[in-house]
């Protein structure tokens, strides 16, 4: 039987200082089961606080798949909504569909979350969406410690061989700390 903590990945990066040792950490937890990322699982005790983020991520996938900008727009934080036009949303959708083909399916109870220490600005929700040509990681950015009902950003990444959901979630969090 799979332990609910088996999917928990805690990465500790410690830096020593003369006065002591400070620890910076990232927590990534997902519904992965024994090496299979595209699996559904109920939220764990730790991840249940992100249930609204999971619902928002699922609603985005449904609205994005349908191609209705108004349904996508209501999921965006007002700061993002001001900068993104309907044409931008449909252009991004067209780009994803041209590259990966139409959406075939996704699993509503498949999830992955990445959070950092309390000074991080964002929390990430990662979903795997099956397109006709390839599986794609949909990466949703939420403001940390929010209601998780409004997106601060969205990106995607084709699922390359060997790339795990936990890797993608951690990369997204790391890039938000040090944008290039």
pLDDT tens digit string along 144-158?
889 999 999 998 999
The model's pTM = 0.81
Q: What's the pLDDT at 178? A: 60
pLDDT at residue 162 tops 80? no
Q: Which domains are present in the chain?
A: 9-177 (3.10.450.590)
Q: What's the pLDDT at 42? A: 95
Degrees, nearest 5: CA angle 48-54-55: 110
- Cα 4 to Cα 43, 46, 161: the distances in Å are 9, 10, 25
pLDDT tens string 26-85: 677 888 887 788 999 999 998 999 999 999 999 999 999 999 999 999 999 998 888 889
Close Cβ partners of 8 (under 8 Å, ≥ 6 residues apart): 27, 28, 29, 44, 46
CA 166 to chain centre: 10
Closest CA to 113 of 40, 36, 167, 169: 169
Which is higher by pLDDT, 152 or 17?
Answer: 152
Q: What's the pLDDT at 146? A: 92
Average pLDDT of the residues in 108-126 = 85
Percentage of the chain beyond pLDDT 70 is 81
């Amino acid at each position: 039987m799979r332990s609910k903590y088996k999917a928990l990945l805690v990465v500790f990066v410690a830096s020593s200082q003369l006065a002591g040792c400070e620890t910076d950490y990232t927590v990534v937890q997902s519904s992965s089961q024994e090496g299979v990322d595209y699996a559904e699982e109920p939220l764990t005790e730790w991840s249940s606080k992100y249930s609204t983020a999971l619902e928002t991520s699922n609603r985005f996938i449904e609205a994005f798949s349908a191609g209705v900008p108004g349904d996508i727009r209501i999921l965006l934080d007002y700061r993002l909504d001001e900068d993104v036009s309907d044409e931008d949303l449909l252009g991004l959708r067209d780009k994803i569909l041209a590259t990966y083909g139409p959406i075939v399916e996704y699993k509503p109870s498949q999830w992955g979350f990445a959070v950092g220490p309390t000074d991080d600005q964002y929390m990430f929700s990662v979903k795997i969406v099956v397109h006709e040509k390839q599986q794609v990681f949909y990466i949703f950015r939420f403001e940390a410690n929010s209601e998780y009902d409004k997106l601060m950003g969205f990106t995607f990444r084709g699922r390359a061989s060997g790339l795990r959901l936990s890797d993608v979630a951690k990369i997204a969090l790391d890039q938000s700390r040090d944008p290039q």
